[in-house]
Structure formats: structure tokens, C-alpha cells
């Protein structure tokens, strides 16, 4: 929605509506017309939410499955299982509140599902989540997918490599509110030999540093294996109804 109190005047970004251009501010701040400035508001209407699922890997609790050396046991929940469940919970919370929700997959370059509202959109989101699968070894993205101004972004990933974290950090620097959801299952360590345990420790330290950097950059972190994760989602969903908006 476009309603709400004025928050600030900000350089135009891809996805901003030209109807929100503040021509006086543009003339004052960019007299040569090199840059447009738009009015951003605290929107009181529906939120625009994008769920970004990192389908590039699908790992289980056993670290041996992370490299493909061992198959995931049929009774073990994988990281994509956790991501699907978490994203479905988030979608239900926002769509139930009347918000617009879309779906992106970091594992593919095409847009997965445009934002929409209502029960039919929930069905589309759930179907989109159900068909997510790793697709070989995708080339790294040159840049994160562009999102409309004021989008609330939820990123679901194991964060075992930098790709999803880099995208989340870029969206945060662009002014989006970003929530990173850690979907790595609880790691099964007891059977590991010394060499495997050391390798796991190094990977874990790198991942912890990555998540700490995201938090320092202003990205909110939710570990979906926490007992209170679903309750925190409900709280975050309620908070989103007074959010920075740009007017789409």
C-alpha cells in the first residue's frame, strides 16, 4: 500500500513506483537530473513479503551427506524439508493477515512465483515449495534477484556457503528488512572420526562467522530448530504491519 506517514526521501531504486518521485527533492538534490528521489512512507496497509528458499543443497543431520558421500536416511528431515515447513508457516502467517507473498528460489535464475494474496496464493506457494529440488551445480549469481522497494525478505538457507548470505546482505543494504532463517538440521556428531570432526568444526566456524556478519549488518536471524521459532514468526508477522514502505 502507499498510505502512511512520510518516513524519508530516498534515491530511486528499481521497483520503486514513479508516482512516488518527489520532484522538488530531485531538483534540489540532483539539479542536473542525474538521480531521482522518491518519498518513502511507513505503510499501514498490507506488507509485501518475498520468501527466498536456497534449494542449492539438501543436507541431513549426518555431515557425510553434505558432500554426497552418504545418502540421507529416509527417516531424517533434510534442510529442504525444514525450509519447506518454515516457509509454509511464514506464508500462512502473512497471507492469513491479508499480506502479499511471493516466492524466489536461489537455485534457479527464473522468478518462481510473483507476489499475491489470498487462499489461492497460499496454494501456489505450497506447490512451489513442494517442487523445490537441488538442480545440479548452478553457477553463482552475479547479483541477488531485484525486489520491489519496501519488500520484507525471508531467506531460508543452511548458510553452508556464502551465496545466500551475500544475497541477504545486499538486500539489507538496499533498505529491505531481511530475516535469515537457518534451516540446517541439528548435526549428528557422535559417529565422526577425528578427521571428520575437525572438518566439521572448520565448516561450522565459517558458518557461524557468516551468520554473525549478517546479524551485525542488521539482518534478523531465526534458527528454525529452536522450539520457539513458530512463535517468533507470528511476532515478526505482527510487527511487519508498520513497516518502511516505498510505494509500489
Q: What is the CATH number of the domain that holds 170?
A: 3.40.50
Say what the pLDDT of residue 91 is.
94
Query: Same domain, yes or no, for 21 and 67?
Result: no
Q: What is the pLDDT of residue 57?
A: 85
Same domain, 57 and 133: yes
Closest CA to 158 of 216, 228, 93, 81: 81
Pair 140, 169 in one domain: yes
Residues 31 and 75 placed together within one structural domain of the fold: no
- Is residue 132 located within the same domain as residue 12? no
Q: Does residue 103 share a domain with residue 13?
A: no
Q: What is the pLDDT of residue 37?
A: 84
Place of cell 556457503: 161
**Do residues 36 and 135 both lie within one domain?**
no
Domain region containing 22: 5-42
Please answer whether residues 120 and 150 qualify as being in contact, where contact means their C-beta atoms are separated by less than 8 angstroms.
no
pLDDT at residue 139, rounded to an integer = 53
For the question of whether the overall pTM of this predicted structure is more than 0.85, the answer is: no
* Residue 200 and residue 176 in contact, taking contact as beta carbons nearer than 8 Å: no
- 85 and 165 in a single domain? The answer is yes
* Cα–Cα distance measured from residue 122 to residue 36, given in angstroms and rounded to the nearest whole number: 36
CA 63 to chain centre: 24
Minimal CA–CA distance to 99: which of 130, 132, 125?
125
Regions of the chain short of the pLDDT cut 70 = 1-7, 13-17, 40-46, 68-69, 110-111, 136-143, 226-248
Both 109 and 32 in one domain: the answer is no
37 and 69, same domain (yes or no): no
Counting the structural domains of the chain, the total is: 2
164 and 66, same structural domain? yes
Q: What pLDDT, on a 0 to 100 scale, did the predictor assign at position 47?
A: 75
Same domain flag for 59 and 175: yes
Chain centre distance of CA 188: 26
Distances (CA, A) of 64 to 16, 67, 69, 75, 161: 45, 6, 6, 16, 16
Amino acid at each position: 500500500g502507499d498510505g502512511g506517514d512520510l518516513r524519508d526521501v530516498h534515491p530511486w531504486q528499481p521497483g520503486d513506483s514513479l508516482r512516488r518521485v518527489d520532484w522538488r527533492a530531485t531538483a534540489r538534490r540532483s539539479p542536473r537530473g542525474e538521480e531521482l528521489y522518491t518519498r518513502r512512507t511507513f505503510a499501514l496497509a498490507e506488507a509485501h513479503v518475498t520468501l527466498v528458499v536456497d534449494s542449492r543443497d539438501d543436507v541431513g543431520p549426518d555431515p557425510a551427506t553434505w558432500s554426497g558421500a552418504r545418502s540421507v536416511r529416509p527417516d531424517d528431515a533434510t534442510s529442504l524439508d525444514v525450509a519447506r515447513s518454515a516457509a509454509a508457516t511464514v506464508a500462512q502467517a502473512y497471507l492469513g493477515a491479508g499480506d502479499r507473498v511471493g516466492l524466489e528460489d536461489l537455485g534457479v535464475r527464473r522468478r518462481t512465483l510473483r507476489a499475491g494474496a489470498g487462499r489461492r496464493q497460499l496454494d501456489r506457494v505450497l506447490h512451489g515449495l513442494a517442487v523445490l529440488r537441488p538442480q545440479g551445480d548452478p553457477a553463482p549469481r552475479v547479483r541477488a534477484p531485484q525486489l520491489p522497494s519496501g519488500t520484507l525478505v525471508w531467506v531460508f538457507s543452511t548458510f553452508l556457503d556464502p551465496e545466500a548470505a551475500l544475497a541477504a546482505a545486499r538486500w539489507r543494504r538496499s533498505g529491505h528488512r531481511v530475516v535469515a532463517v537457518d534451516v540446517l538440521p541439528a548435526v549428528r556428531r557422535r559417529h565422526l572420526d577425528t578427521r571428520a570432526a575437525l572438518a566439521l568444526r572448520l565448516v561450522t566456524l565459517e558458518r557461524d562467522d557468516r551468520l554473525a556478519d549478517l546479524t551485525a549488518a542488521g539482518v534478523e536471524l531465526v534458527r528454525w530448530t529452536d522450539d520457539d521459532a513458530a512463535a517468533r514468526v507470528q511476532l515478526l508477522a505482527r510487527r511487519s504491519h508498520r513497516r518502511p514502505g516505498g510505494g509500489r
